[in-house]
Amino acid sequence: MNRLREIREDSDKLQKDIAKVLNVSQQQYSRYESETSQMTYEQLKILSDYYQVSIDYLLYNTDERKPLPKSIIKDK
């Protein structure tokens, strides 16, 4: 299953709910989930903050849902 769809459904949200968070249409968000359109970095950042997960998780670079602690990010 698509990671965006999975995390949205785990949060009991509809596509239109997440589309509002990203300020896009439900149709555009559907394209993100179906991977026929790509999200911008800014949109990925918004979703990672919204879901409290890392961008790497959203992009399948890790299966760890938790974002890096802020202290680690600041130290880099």
pLDDT at 21 over 60: yes
Report the chain's C-alpha Rg in angstroms.
Answer: 13
Cα–Cα nearest to 57, from 22, 13, 7? 7
Q: What is the mean pLDDT of the chain?
A: 89
pLDDT in tens, 27-45: 999 999 999 999 999 999 9
Task: Give the global pTM.
Answer: 0.82
Which tokens belong to 39?
């999200």
Confidence at 17, pLDDT banded by 50, 70, 90: very high
Give the other-Cβ count within 10 Å of 48's Cβ.
17
Kindly give the residue spans of alpha helices, DSSP state H, lying in 1-69: 3-10, 15-22, 26-33, 41-51, 55-58
CATH 3.40.50.300 fits 3-75, yes or no: no
